[in-house]
Amino acid sequence: MSRAWITAFILAVLALHVVPVAREFTGARETLWPFLAWGMYRHSSTPPVETTVHRILARTDAGTRRVGPEDAGFERFAFRRFYEIPIAGGDSAAAGELAGRLARRWDTPVREILLEETVVTFSETGSRGRKTVRLFAAPPR
């Protein structure tokens, strides 16, 4: 490659990195990998420091066990996107799909999906957690 071509290539790569950042100001979220905006975690927070975390559990005839991404066969972000977030939003169809998937992978019927929701709050006296559990009956197979 001649210097001119390399120069054009360099400028193109740099420009393609600037475009998504500029476009973000218009509200667009770029998905043209590998040219993405890098402003992760850019929004500030104010007190109270509080977050909600979810744990999924499955009840089988042998007992109750925690369900992680590896149980469903998905990478952790995909598991969160396909199951954790929808089930936390009350989506029983996602719970049913997960129950079916686990039953196939574990080779045992899954009776219920349980969503354990914990709200953790930091205060000057330490951390505090409030836990609630929601049940989703698995559809019969």
Which residues in this chain contact another protein in the complex, by CB under 8 A? Answer: 1, 3, 6-7, 9-10, 13-14, 17, 21, 24, 31-34, 36-47, 49-51, 53, 72-78, 80-82, 118, 120, 122, 126-127
Supply the minimum distance, in Å, between the C-beta of residue 99 and another protein. Answer: 15
* Nearest CB to another protein, comparing residues 50 and 64: 50
Count of Cβ atoms closer than 10 Å to residue 88 Cβ? 17
* Nearest CB to another protein, comparing residues 42 and 62: 42
Instruction: Tell which phi-psi region holds residue 38, choosing left (phi > 0), alpha (psi between -120 and 50) or beta.
Output: alpha
* HEC sequence for 15-41: HHHHHHHHHHCCCCCCCCCCCCCCCCC
* Nearest CB to another protein, comparing residues 62 and 120: 120
* Nearest CB to another protein, comparing residues 27 and 62: 27
Alpha helices in 41-82 (DSSP H): 69-72, 76-79
Supply the minimum distance, in Å, between the C-beta of residue 33 and another protein. Answer: 5
Which whole-number Å values give the CA distances from 138 to 35, 48, 99, 112, in the listed order? 42, 37, 6, 5
Supply the minimum distance, in Å, between the C-beta of residue 36 and another protein. Answer: 6
Distance, in Å, from the CA atom of 60 to the CA atom of 70, rounded to the nearest integer, reads: 17
Supply the minimum distance, in Å, between the C-beta of residue 109 and another protein. Answer: 21
